[in-house]
Structures are given as C-alpha cells and as structure tokens.
Amino acid sequence: MNDRYYLEITYEEAQKAASKGQIPVGAVVVDEMGQILAKDHNRVNERNNRTAHAEMLTIFSALEQYDGRMAPTWSVYTTLEPCPMCLGTIIMTNIGRVVWAAPDDYIQTHQLMKAIPYLRKQKLKFGPSPYPDLKRKSGDLHRAYWVGRGQPEKTRPIIESSNQSDD
C-alpha cells in the first residue's frame, strides 16, 4: 500500500463527517507493515467535545488497542494539515510520520514545526501529500464546509494587521 491508498480512506472518512455536519476531516493510523490500526472522522458536534478531532480519535483508538511503544513506526494520514492540538498529540505520542492531503491555509500548523525549537528537534516526518488531485479534492470539501456556513475566511491565511495594538 502507498500513501495514496491511505489518503483515499481519509477522504472517505471526511465525507462521513461532512454528511453529519461535522468539519470534514478524516484520519487513519497505520503501522510500519501497512496495517490500519484505526480510522475515524471529526465528531466534535456529535460528541459535544471540541477535542473529538479525527486525528485525536484515531490516535487514542490505536493506543488503546496496540503497544504505544511502537508509535514511532506509525504514520498518521489526514485529509487536512493537523491543527496545533492534534500536532501536539502526535508529537507527545512519538508517532513517526504525518501525511496530509490538503494544507490548512487558515491555521498553517506546519509553520509551528519551523518556528519552535522544541518542535524542530523532533524526529517527526511531517508533510503534505505529493498528490495534487487529493489535495484539490480534500481542500474543496473543506472549503465547501466553511463557505456553506458563511465563513469563507476560515479557508484563507490569517493576515496580521500591522495597525493592531497590544492594549
């Protein structure tokens, strides 16, 4: 199996989330042999729990079922670049690799990996998928969710104004 296979599964999970009115993100945790350890999608509204992100649910499920000492050999696949909370969980559980289909242009967590010395020292392999069609498909699903809710700004980078004061 290759990255594309697992990213397609994350997209299927994201579609499930979208059909339930959730932010459309899906995730899969895979071991070094290619076995899927867990898969899920966002369930924030369904569980009334702001931490019920797809990545969190799959990581916790995998850790409950399998030896967490093997986590450095695991990969997390997700339709959207992980948020800071999910990135923190990935790092603290020592998962070895993360691949996402579409960047999160609003949060841009990959910038944290470059900006914070502690994160730069981690052995996490962290990056986008090399598949433009999956990037487009996952990005379109994410954009449609936010545009449909009247919040298209959540699909664009946050631009800091130089006129803001600290008062």
Q: Say if residues 145 and 24 touch (Cβ distance below 8 Å).
A: yes
Is 64 assigned a catalytic role?
A: no
Nearest one of 46, 7, 43 to 27, comparing CA atoms: 7
Looking at 8, 55, 81, 160, which residue is catalytic? 55
Residue 158 tokens, joined: 């946050």
Concatenate the DSSP letters of all residues of 67-105 into one string.
-GGGGGG-EEEEEE---HHHHHHHHHTT--EEEEEE--T
Catalytic residues: 55
